[in-house]
Amino acid sequence: HRTHRRSGSLIGRCAGHTGWVLSVAASHDGNTIATGSADRTVRVWDLRMHQSLHTFGVHTDQVRCVEGCACYR
């Protein structure tokens, strides 16, 4: 879920992971994030459209840490 900083109201929801989200990394402009999940996937999200741009699903265990990626340039 994405909420407004001041009011706390819901701005949008990014749905796709089937497990808990354990890590989030944001782009410098705040329009893209990467999320790591207990479902063993990493997803890259477009926050303006509230949709997944890509899913990386080759992990053998939960993804507990995501940090910067080429899509953040």
Token pair of 41 as six digits: 């996937």
* pTM exceeds 0.95 for this model: no
| Confidence bin at 19 (pLDDT 50/70/90) | confident
- pLDDT of res. 69: 59
pLDDT score of 61 more than 60: yes
- Rounded Cα gap, residues 40 and 19, in angstroms: 8
pLDDT in tens, 32-55: 888 888 888 888 888 888 888 888
Residues 6+ apart with CB under 8 A from 37: 17, 18, 19, 20, 21, 22, 43, 62, 63
Token pair of 44 as six digits: 């890259």
